A and B are shown apart, each in its own frame.
Chain A
């Protein structure tokens, strides 16, 4: 299956109460495939076609507040148009799960892969899980639901997969039995549904300086709680499927002196680069970050501590003039943790520019040089750009 088909199939197995979606570009074919499941009667979902992505998220928020298991899907500028409502979903503590196909935000107009869309939404209060391939996107969907709906969390979750590279690429996929999925996700019991008329509640009223801050503080606490919940859900998922997940994956890191840290599909390509360099005797490894929000700063700093040098690969520009968003989080996590590696940033692949094994080997070589020199000469590099 392609990444989009895998996610659509996960949605079919989840069979949510409501999916609201905007059915044309910039939507992905996740929703197109799902609409055929609706038409075939394969799901019981109430499928609401809306007039924009802003409305898609609004309708999803409304359905979730009413007490439904509600979802939508989006990509790129569609996510940007949802912006305002992303914050409302998170602050109302609505456990919405949304697959996001990572694609560049225009302009210049571009439909291809980078992480500018979800990186822009990183402070909206959503949990973000990033997927290396179609299998991970599929597996993340079920885990995301359990994480979102956990009473200690109650936050919306984005399941991110790389546009075209994963979304439109066909790969082998191991699917779960419907029964396994049903048991794993369980029946949804909303905590304070609007439609529970015997216990009336108000959702989304004005919240002034006397309580707004406390509610934001509670969101932070929920995000903090999410880390343990993500791990607990992953353990349970592994027991049922044999496929293991964590906050991040360490690949040949035990005795590594130099490593690359990257998210999503480029991590798979980086594994081949690590193998190639290991064969040549270089002590290199890879850390693939799965969970960007909450950011697992302590555990990550622990895993990186023994390195001499680290290259962070960012598939988004932040225009801070000091590197991309992933670099800044990682470097900040290491600062004050005592010692730790020299850190460099490589911004790559914007607007879908292809990244191959050879380019990542080049990153490793530059970072090995940094380790040997004992200092960082060039903190931020733009990989393969004509300058």
Chain B
């Protein structure tokens, strides 16, 4: 793999797109790959559209610019579809994963893009049930693991568990719920 795999996350401030992009990168790096995970900071406020990015490669990555032509797009907030240009730069056969109750076929119609692979998962509902809060970032990581195939699920879960315990040092009681949400989204994400 000479070119890195590039991923773009769309979310709204407060949904944890940045955290997910960084945690995903860190987990994948522990498996021996070269990674980048970084946000595009706008005006930092709850609810504002934000972007975050990943590059994953077998070789060191020197490029330090935003991702404009991702192979995979992750959309944490369905209301961004039609507002943010979520499919921009996606090549034919590229994948987009949307957090929505809709089916992939319905979402494909809304996206108006016929040559990309559309995946959907109800990450809000999963997070509500597993965590008691509609924070979709950790379940969307599970969906991304499934769709990207960049890292085996069991390996990812081990790394995610370690990272989540580090991140939530003061409130480790939320970790099992997050792990449950990742696993459920991995299982429940649907393709066409």
Contact = CB atoms under 8 A, between A and B. Distances in A.
Interface stretch (A87-95, A167-175, A198-206): A167-175
Interface stretch (B33-41, B75-83, B140-148, B182-190): B33-41
Interface residues of A, number: 24
B41 A170 contact: no
Interface stretch (B62-70, B98-106, B109-117): B62-70
Contact of B26 (A168, A170, A265): A170
A266 B63 contact: no
B181 interface: no
B34 to A, nearest CB: 5
B65 A269 contact: yes
Interface residues of B, number: 20
B181 to A, nearest CB: 22
A170 B62 contact: no
Contact of A272 (B26, B38, B62): B62
Q: Is the interface of B mostly helix, strand, loop or mixed?
A: mixed
A236 B60 CA distance: 24
Contacts of A112: 41
Interface string A131-167: 0110000000000000000000000000000101110
Nearest to A164: B41
A268 B63 contact: yes
A357 B65 contact: yes
Nearest to B23: A170
A196 B40 CA distance: 50
Contacts of B34: 172
Interface string A259-294: 000000110110110000000000000000000000
Contacts of B60: 172
A361 interface: no
Interface in A236-269: 265-266, 268-269
B59 to A, nearest CB: 11
B41 A356 contact: no
A117 to B, nearest CB: 17
A279 to B, nearest CB: 11
Interface in B150-187: none
B63 A269 contact: yes
Most chain A C-beta atoms within 10 Å of own C-beta, residue among B60, B64, B66: B64
B72 interface: no
Contact of B62 (A2, A168, A268): A268
A46 interface: no
A357 B3 CA distance: 13
B100 to A, nearest CB: 28
B63 A170 contact: no
A356 B55 CA distance: 14
B35 A172 contact: yes
A354 interface: yes
A111 B41 contact: yes
Most chain B CB within 10 A, of A170, A266, A271, A354, is at: A170
Given A2-B22, A112-B41, A164-B41, A170 B35 contact: yes
A167 B29 CA distance: 18
Contacts of A271: 62
A98 B26 CA distance: 27
Contacts of B63: 268-269, 272, 356-357
Greatest chain B CB density within 10 A among A171, A271, A272, A354 is at A171
B65 A170 contact: no
A355 interface: yes
B96 interface: no
Given A170-B25, A170-B26, A165 B38 contact: yes
B29 A168 contact: no
B38 A168 contact: yes
B64 A165 contact: yes
A263 to B, nearest CB: 12
A172 B28 CA distance: 10
Contacts of A172: 29, 34-35, 60
Contacts of B25: 170
B5 to A, nearest CB: 15
A35 B29 CA distance: 26
Interface in B10-50: 22, 25-26, 29, 34-41
Contacts of A111: 41
A100 to B, nearest CB: 18
A266 B64 CA distance: 7
Interface of B: 22, 25-26, 29, 34-41, 60-66, 68
Interface of A: 2, 111-112, 132-133, 162, 164-166, 168-172, 265-266, 268-269, 271-272, 354-357
13 contacts: A132-B62, A133-B62, A166-B64, A169-B64, A170-B26, A170-B36, A170-B38, A171-B61, A172-B34, A172-B35, A265-B64, A271-B62, A354-B65
